[in-house]
Structure 1
Amino acid sequence: MVQHRPHTTVVLAMSADGKIADIRRSPARFGSRADKAHLEKQIAASDAVLFGAGTLRAYGTTLTVSHPTLLEHRTQEGKPPQPVHIVITHSGNLNPEIKFFKQPVKRWLLTTTAAAISWQGRSEFEQILVFETPTGKIDTLAALQHLATLDITRLVVLGGGELVASLLELNFIDELWLTVCPMILGGTTAPTPVEGRGFVADLAPKLQLLEVNTVDQEVFLHYRLQQSAD
């Protein structure tokens, strides 16, 4: 059964050996200008951007739409200059002093009941969304269904690997954009695009390659998730 939720696209850059950061989990700034422009284009086409707390802690900021053509397209489509930027976190442990909280974007927090308490009555987040399962975890399906009722039809996910894994397990990802960058990072503890428990081969999500673009030394791979028959 197809659930009513936003069309969800994951956009990530990775090394040639499939790492999205080094062993220190430093911000992955190894993508080129072309990759950054590609990411901005995907963000500009979205109604909201979703990323995990670990990703936000690593960067301390988010990418906003700044290209005049992209801004003009959003205006023509009746959209605000920036999509909503949504942080998903079970703990709510975020530093309110980071640059993200000063950027000109609408910020929403998706979290648990306990974690929401420390952010209520403050100005950092315009909305605090609490959707919780009986076990105290974030109810991702209920959250995405709620986003759809708020006219968020296109959602871009920027990581990290744990968030992507959880969405894949629930079959909530529609497309993937992976930029393969010309470097080897290595390291058994370096994060990958999909973390979590992993999938056995017979049950692994299957992809359909939609397009391949090469810009200088980078390769841009665009996939569609093949939906299971059930």
Structure 2
Amino acid sequence: MQVIVNAATSVDGKLSTRRREQVAISGPADFDRVDALRADSDAVMVGVGTVLADDPSLTVDDPERIDARTGRGDPPQPARVIVDSRLRTPTDATVYDDAAETVFLVSEAATDEAVADARTRDAVVISAGDDRVDLSAALDRLETHGIEQLMVEGGGELVFSLFDAGLVDELSVFVGSMVIGGRDAPTLADGDGFVETFPDLRLGDVERIDDGVLLRYTVV
């Protein structure tokens, strides 16, 4: 499986404000790039924190890209994968609509009632790990589910956990021309942080988009 992390950050590396409210960091050209990356992926993954904060749809917007997917035999939309250890996603969340298949990665901490309720809403539930989702095992299960390219859109806790588990292959970061600040504002990679060893990145490409810059890295 190819795991591609994509994010937009401020110059100081923040994903949003300390209130964890959605901020328009990039512009139309980058939105279109993200839409194309979604269209090229088998699934789009976020953590439950992103669902609770932004209620995203995680779907492709461009009709021509949707037609291209169906033309090559893929579903019209990539699957939506939510990492949600205890299945806290609200039942009225947009990811429960019928626009695309929704897959929840949960741990044994998710109640039987929550799992049953998600399945009655036609969601796929994959359990891996005791108290938290075992991402390595969960992604192995996703691969058997037919997911070969996985796009990850955040948030910071999930991104850190994927790097910590050595699961990231590529990283694309749009850096917008703004400073957000705040010691409690979420960053590209939150979690416990690295201290002695760090992910080994190789800068592959730099591109100016909108009023910002796109950095593309491969992970060694």
| SS, match of residue 208 in structure 1 | strand
User: How far did residue 115 of structure 1 move?
Assistant: 1.2
Task: Give the aligned partner of residue 205 of structure 1.
Answer: 199
User: How far did residue 154 of structure 1 move?
Assistant: 0.3
Point out where structure 2 has 5 or more consecutive residues left out of the alignment: none
CA contact (8 A) 2:58 2:80 kept: no
Select 2:128's aligned residue among 126, 131, 134. Answer: 131
Select 2:116's aligned residue among 110, 114, 120. Answer: 120
CA contact (8 A) 1:56 1:62 kept: no
Aligned AA (2:213): V
Distance 1:114 1:197, change over 3 A: closer
User: How far did residue 97 of structure 1 move?
Assistant: 1.7
Give the aligned length. Answer: 218
| SS, match of residue 158 in structure 2 | helix
Aligned AA (1:72): D
CA distance in 2, matches of 1:20, 1:103: 28
**Structure 2 matches for 1:82-101, cutoff 5 A?**
82-101=77-96
Select 2:8's aligned residue among 13, 19, 27. Answer: 13
CA distance in 2, matches of 1:216, 1:86: 29
Taking only aligned residues, the RMSD between alpha carbons, in angstroms, comes to 1.5
2:213 matches 1:216: no
Distance 1:173 1:116, change over 3 A: farther
CA contact (8 A) 2:44 2:152 kept: yes
- Which of structure 1's runs of 4+ aligned residues deviate more than 4 A? none
| SS, match of residue 110 in structure 2 | helix
CA contact (8 A) 1:108 1:125 kept: no
Select 1:51's aligned residue among 39, 46, 50. Answer: 46
CA distance in 2, matches of 1:161, 1:65: 22
Point out where structure 1 has 5 or more consecutive residues left out of the alignment: 1-5
CA contact (8 A) 2:38 2:44 kept: yes
Task: Give the aligned partner of residue 105 of structure 2.
Answer: 110
Distance 1:110 1:116, change over 3 A: farther
Aligned AA (1:223): Y
TM-score, length of structure 1 as denominator length: 0.89
TM-score, length of structure 2 as denominator length: 0.93
Task: Give the aligned partner of residue 3 of structure 1.
Answer: none
